[in-house]
Amino acid sequence: MQELSGLQNFLEIVTKPDNIPIVGMLLLILFFTWIGMRQAFRHDKLIAEGRKDEIPEEMWK
């Protein structure tokens, strides 16, 4: 019997029906974390430029 490589073993585990929703949730967590960090950096930039009062306007865009 041939031994699976690390990537093949990982893909075999990830693609099992029980694990697919977990993988989807991890992707959603990464996506929304990226959105939150992008907004946080924009707001930090506005604060550094002394335009703190424009943050609520930026949030509604």
Tell me whether residue 43 is exposed, middle or buried, using C-beta atoms within 10 angstroms of its C-beta: 0 to 12, 13 to 18, 19 or more.
Answer: middle
The answer to whether residues 14 and 23 touch, using CB atoms and an 8 Å cutoff, is yes
* Per-chain mean pLDDT for the chain: 91
Listed by start position, the domains of the chain span: 6-59
Is the pTM for the entire model greater than 0.75? no
CA distance 56 to 22: 34
In eight-state DSSP terms, residue 5 is P
The answer to whether residues 58 and 46 touch, using CB atoms and an 8 Å cutoff, is yes
Q: What is the pLDDT of residues 13-30, one digit of tens each?
A: 999 999 999 999 999 999
Residues in CB range of 55: below 8 A, 6 or more apart: 43, 46, 47
